[in-house]
């Protein structure tokens, strides 16, 4: 069970993580939080009506990883948009990106909190049990982490896994590749664990 999820009796999932796995996962989740950025200021959160109508950016992110996490809603990926698609994407982004960032931030925080519950700020290994809601959050966070690493590795689709497996050990991207593949296996095992 080390490093992969299994179905837990009574629902949810369970995974045994050693200290290294725990440390890597926590570090990646914290980096994801830094990439996504801070949430709205506390004074903005005090008014729930204002938060409901908060507007986000209308321009797509310049960072390729953020662009992968927050893609345009209209047009084909990696294709030039016409003026109508660009305007529709900007409008859609303006009203959805704040909520999307909040959800992604909460998913990454759920991973950090769960790992911290193992003890010593996520520096100890152990058996982690997730309920159904935690599983949903972990699935979101694992997906976001893979998308981010995929963007950093310039992976266009899962069909490129073969290229990643052939990477020489002395390639500086090898640690990212190993994390990307491990997160994929972990994500797949969690999906299988929670499916009926």
pLDDT of residue 41: 58
pLDDT of residue 155: 87
- 3-class DSSP state of 27: helix
d(CA 11, CA 132): 7
Q: What percentage of the chain has pLDDT greater than the value 70? A: 87
Q: Is the pLDDT of residue 32 over 50?
A: yes
Asked if 15 and 127 count as a contact pair (C-beta separation under 8 A), the reply is yes
pLDDT of residue 65: 95
Asked if 112 and 30 count as a contact pair (C-beta separation under 8 A), the reply is yes
Q: What percentage of the chain has pLDDT greater than the value 90? A: 59
Specify which residues 126 forms β-bridges with. 17
pTM of the predicted protein model: 0.87
Summarised one tens digit per residue, pLDDT across range 124-167 is 788 999 999 999 999 999 999 999 999 999 887 756 667 888 88
If you compute the radius of gyration of the chain from its CA atoms, what whole number of angstroms results? 18
Q: Is the pLDDT of residue 185 over 90?
A: yes
pLDDT confidence of 119, banded at 50, 70, 90?
Answer: confident
């Amino acid at each position: 069970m080390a490093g992969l999820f299994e179905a837990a009796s009574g629902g949810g999932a369970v995974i045994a993580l050693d200290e290294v796995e725990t440390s890597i996962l926590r570090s990646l989740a914290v980096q994801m939080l830094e990439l996504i950025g801070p949430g709205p200021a506390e004074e903005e959160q005090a008014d729930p009506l204002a938060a409901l109508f908060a507007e986000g950016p209308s321009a797509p992110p310049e960072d390729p990883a953020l662009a992968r996490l927050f893609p345009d809603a209209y047009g084909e990926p990696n294709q030039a948009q016409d003026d109508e698609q660009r305007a529709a994407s900007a409008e859609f982004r303006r009203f959805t990106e704040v909520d999307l960032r909040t959800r992604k931030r909460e998913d990454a925080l759920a991973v950090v909190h769960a790992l911290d519950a193992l003890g010593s700020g996520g520096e100890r290994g152990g058996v982690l049990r997730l309920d159904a809601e935690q599983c949903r959050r972990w699935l979101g966070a694992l997906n976001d982490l893979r998308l981010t690493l995929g963007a950093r590795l310039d992976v266009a689709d899962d069909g490129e896994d073969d290229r990643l497996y052939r990477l020489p050990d002395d390639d500086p991207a090898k640690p990212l590749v190993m994390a990307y593949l491990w997160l994929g296996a972990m994500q797949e095992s969690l999906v299988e664990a929670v499916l009926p």
